[in-house]
Amino acid sequence: MYPFPQTIAPALRTHIDAQTAFLNDMSKSMFSSFQQMCDLNIQLVQTMLEETTLASKQVLSTDRQSELLSAATARTQPTTEKLRAYQQHIARLAADAQVELARVTEQHVQNTTRTARALADEVARDASEQTERGLRAQQETVRQFSDPFIRPGNGAAQPQASGSTGQQQSMPPGQQQGSKDQRATTH
């Protein structure tokens, strides 16, 4: 059940569908970028573990200190190159993700804007109609209160005749009986 009148419900549904499609495509794009980033991180960790294992084997298999230093310096160059490649991959992934998000936004912005405008027009039209109805009802109420003797359909109310019967009719019921009792005792 929508909190809007039935006339607005189709426009609201169309706008919600457009927004949902936009958000779904954005989340798919972001998830894909996140997945690529995770894959790249896993690949980096695997490469670094392999490099560490090779460096450890070389360090453990050396007999002299000079071989130890040369083994350590020989492994720093490939590790540096791999870290630089990792940074380049991250930059490329970030640029690709930004291009993909811009493409998705461009694809959905026209439809989302159109449905939002249609929804706003429907809400404004319905609000003006309801305001008009409320204003007419208030005017009718004010008109009825300003002249209480006008009854719809009957015309003007008939004024009551003044006299003893009119006075008795306008008195509350308890006073009417009291005045009858007074007349009976005085006669």
Break the chain into its structural domains and give their ranges.
9-144
> Is 82 in a helix, a strand, or coil?
helix
* 120-136: average pLDDT: 89
Per the rule left: phi > 0, alpha: psi between -120 and 50, beta: everything else, 162 is beta
Per-residue pLDDT tens digits for 12-33: 888 899 999 999 999 999 999 9
Single pTM value for the model = 0.56
Task: Name which of 79, 86, 85 is nearest 37 in CA terms.
Answer: 86
The secondary structure element, H or E, covering residue 155 is: strand 155-156
pLDDT at 11 over 60: yes
pLDDT at 95 over 90: yes
pLDDT at 178 over 80: no
| Structure tokens given for 133 | 């109805």
pLDDT band at 34, cuts 50/70/90? Answer: very high
Q: What percent of the chain has pLDDT over 70?
A: 74
pLDDT at 110 over 60: yes
Mean pLDDT over each residue of the chain, to the nearest integer? 78
pLDDT at 43: 93
